[in-house]
Amino acid sequence: MSSALRSPHSASHIDLEFKCLVDQEQFTANSENEVNIFTDGSKIEGKVGAALSVWTGAAEARTLKLALLSYCTVYQAELLAICRAARMAADNLAGSVGIYSDSLSALLTLKNPKAHAGLEGNERADHLAKEAALKSKRAFDYDSCPVSFIKRSIRMQSLDEWNQRYRGGETSGVTRVFFPDAIAAYRITSKIRVDGLVTKALTGHGGFSEYLYRFKCKGSPSCVCDPGCSESVLHVLLECPTFAYERLRLENQTGVHLTEGNLCEIIKNKLSRELYLQYCIKVVKAVNIRNKN
């Protein structure tokens, strides 16, 4: 991707010209500028850098490495490099300057960034940008944080406060068996389809005799398997012989024996989580139908 910029009198101002170059041959055919500047941005190992490689003819005449704070994005690094290249071009009153970038998102904000297209200058700029990210010891050249960083920071602060209240609260006892940590719960629940039956299984709030008895919707909290045993969600999922076959089948599928202590680990694992939730839906549905009678 190239942008040819000249510095004429303001009265004869011309628009920037953009051309898409797919290989070295096309670059050579369209490279009539006295100076060519290749730009790139990089984020590697959590560090961000940008770079310019300035060429006169077939030789590299100058390089510039720019360091950005770690919360910056590659998109910002690409834009910073292009901005610095444009400043160089504006200062070069002697002739024409071509600016080359492999990022259409930075230049036009229309498409995703393209590959390097095999241009020597772009490869050099990419190498310099990685060096700027990893090895720069100088003060940061750019420190404006993206909106995504602000949103992520606010979300993490909110989750941290929620987690402290969640861990120290006296409610949600059943839910904490599945999700001891609210932040981990946030990550996991965003990956599963939560409906009414799943919610009842993960909270214990539903058509279980113990729960219905608390609200005087049923005369006894007992389970059908034993009058002396309360029909709680954990009882029907882990102990009730009524669902022994389904429970054994699940344990054979996952290779994990169901206990209250390992439910949180089962929920973390994608494969076992899907199988376990299917089991929960089947059990909760059966209990709800039974307690409606």
Give the CATH number for residue 96.
3.30.420
Residue 281: is its pLDDT beyond 90? yes
Q: What pLDDT shows up at residue 24?
A: 78
d(CA 39, CA 18): 15
Residue of higher predicted confidence among 166 and 81:
81
Q: Check whether residue 123 and residue 192 sit in a common domain.
A: no
In a domain? residue 111:
yes
- The two structure tokens encoding residue 227: 């009058």
Name which residue leads in pLDDT, 13 or 35.
35
Q: What pLDDT is recorded for position 107? A: 60
Q: Does 159 fall in a domain?
A: no
What band does 112 get if pLDDT is binned at 50, 70 and 90? very low
Residue 164 lies in a domain: no
- Each residue's pLDDT tens digit, 238-277: 999 999 999 999 999 999 999 999 999 999 998 899 999 9
3-state secondary structure of 41: strand
- Say whether both 44 and 95 belong to one domain: yes
Residues 202, 285 within the same domain: yes
Q: Which residues contact 215 (CB under 8 A, 6 or more apart)?
A: none
Q: Rounded distance, CA 38 to CA 89, Å?
A: 12
Q: What is the CA radius of gyration of the chain?
A: 31
On whether both 105 and 193 belong to a single domain, the answer is no
Give yes or no for residue 4 having a pLDDT over 60.
no
The rounded distance, in Å, linking the Cα atoms of 219 and 209 is 9
Q: Are residues 120 and 192 in the same domain?
A: no
| Region of residue 45 (phi > 0: left; psi between -120 and 50: alpha; otherwise: beta) | left
The answer to whether residue 155 sits within a structural domain is no
Rounded to the nearest 10 degrees, what angle do helices 120-135 and 74-91 cross at?
120
Q: Which residue has the higher pLDDT, 209 or 139?
A: 209
Q: How many domains does the chain have?
A: 2
118: pLDDT strictly greater than 70: no
Torsion, Cα of 268, 188, 173, 208 (10° steps): -90
Q: Considering only CA atoms, which of 235, 283, 231 is closest in space to residue 259? A: 235
Is the pLDDT confidence value at 73 over 80?
yes
Q: Has residue 73 been placed in a domain?
A: yes
Q: Are residues 186 and 93 in the same domain?
A: no
Max mean pLDDT range (57-61, 135-139, 242-246): 242-246
Q: Which helix (H) or strand (E) holds 3?
A: strand 2-5
Please tell me the least confidently modeled range out of 106-120, 123-137, 148-162, 217-231. 106-120
pTM of the model: 0.51
Whether residue 94 is contained in a domain is answered as yes
Structural domain contains residue 236: yes
- What's the rounded mean pLDDT across residues 227-234? 94
Q: So what's the pLDDT on residue 16? A: 54
150 in any annotated domain: no
Helices (H), 136-208: 147-168, 173-178, 182-189, 196-203
Q: Is there a contact between 246 and 255 (Cβ–Cβ < 8 Å)?
A: no
Residues 141 and 182 in one domain: no
Alpha-carbon 61 to chain mean position = 39
pLDDT mean over 69-98: 84
Domain that holds residue 11: 2-145
pLDDT confidence of 172, banded at 50, 70, 90? low
In a shared domain, residues 130 and 210: no
Averaged pLDDT for residues 46-69: 89
Residues 138 and 233 reside in one and the same domain = no
* Per-residue pLDDT, 108: 57
pLDDT tops 70 at residue 121: no
Are 140 and 174 within one domain? no
Instruction: State the DSSP code for 93.
Output: T
Percent of the chain with pLDDT over 90: 35
Which residues are CB-contacts of 13 (< 8 A; sequence separation ≥ 6)? Answer: none
177 and 131, same structural domain?
Answer: no
In a shared domain, residues 135 and 188: no
Which residues face 38 on adjacent strands? 53, 100
Lowest mean pLDDT among 71-80, 122-131, 213-222: 122-131
